[in-house]
Amino acid sequence: MNWKVKQKSLVCDSHFEYVFKNIKTTIKNNRCFFCVLFWRLKEHKNNHTIAKGPVYLIELSNNREALNNKRLQSYRRCVIMKKIKSIILEWIEIIAIAFIIALVVETFFFSFAVVQGQSMEPTISNKDRLLVVKYPFFRNSIKEGDIVVFNPPGTTDEIFIKRVVAKGTDSFTISDGCLFINNEEVAEDYIYEDEYLERSYQFINGVIPKDAVFVLGDNRNDSNDSRSFGYIHKNQIIGKAAIKIWPIREVRVFLNP
C-alpha cells in the first residue's frame, strides 16, 4: 500500500517536474515578453490597477507603428526638400545662363532703344521702340541714309539718333534747307515737310574727315545734329536702327540698299 502511494507520489513529482521544465523553457524563449509583462504588471500594481499582457502588446505595436510613420514622414520630408532644392538650383542656373546670354547679346549683337524727342520725325516719333544692331556688325559698311545711334562729342552719358548724310572725304553744303554732297543736291523724301528755318549753325559746309560721318535729324527745324556739334567719328557709333517694333501698327524695317 505504501509502495503504491510512493509510486503515485513519484509519478506526480515527475509530472510536476515536466510541467515546470516546460514553463521554464517557455519563459527562457520569451524572456523579453515576460520581462515587459512583469514590468507592466508591476507598474499597474503600484497604481492599484491590473493590466493584461495583450493590452501592452497592442500599445507597443502602436508605438512602433507611430515611430515608423514618423520615420517615413521624415524621409518624405527630406526627399521633398531635396527636390525643392534641386529645382531652385536648376532655376538659378537657368536664370544665370539667360542673364549672361542677354548681357553678351546686349553688348555685342543688338539692343532695344526708346526714342525721346521729335528730331527724327516723321520717320521716328517720340517714345517709339527700336531694335538696334550693334556697330561691329556694320563697321565697314556705313552708308548714307543709315539711321545710327551714337554718343555726341564730349559726352558718353547721352545717346542721340540721327541719319547719316555723308561719309569721310565727302564735301557737303547746306543752303536754304537743301543738302549738297560733292556738289550734287540730295533728294531727301524722308525729311519733315516744313519751311526750313535759317539759324547760325557752325558746320554748314566743309569736308568730312576720314573715319567720320556727318549726321542730321529728319526734322531739320527741331534737331541738334552735326550742324551744331560737328562730325561723328565711327568709334562714337553704338549701333544702327534696324526695326521699329513699337507702336505695333507702325512696325517697319529700315532698309538702306
User: Nearest CA to 218 among 191, 254, 244, 187?
Assistant: 191
pLDDT tens digits, residue range 147-204? Answer: 999 999 888 888 999 999 999 899 999 988 899 999 999 988 888 888 888 888 999 9
Fold assignment, 111-253: Umud Fragment, subunit A (2.10.109)
Strands 212-216 and 160-167: antiparallel
**119 carries an active-site annotation:** yes
**244 carries an active-site annotation:** no
Choice among 8, 9, 119, 141 that is catalytic: 119
pLDDT band at residue 146 using 50, 70 and 90 as cut-offs: very high
pLDDT tens digits, residue range 55-103? Answer: 444 555 556 666 667 777 787 888 888 889 889 999 999 999 988 888 8
Q: Where are the domains of the chain?
A: 2-51, 111-253
**In this predicted structure, what is the pLDDT of residue 159?**
92
Say whether pLDDT at 130 is over 60.
yes
Choice among 45, 134, 141, 162 that is catalytic: 162
Q: Which residue has the cell 510512493?
A: 6
User: Nearest CA to 117 among 127, 105, 107, 109?
Assistant: 127
**In this predicted structure, what is the pLDDT of residue 25?**
58
pLDDT tens digits, residue range 79-88? Answer: 888 889 889 9
pLDDT tens digits, residue range 18-62? Answer: 544 555 555 555 444 444 444 444 554 455 444 444 444 455 555
Distance CA 85, CA 87 (A): 5
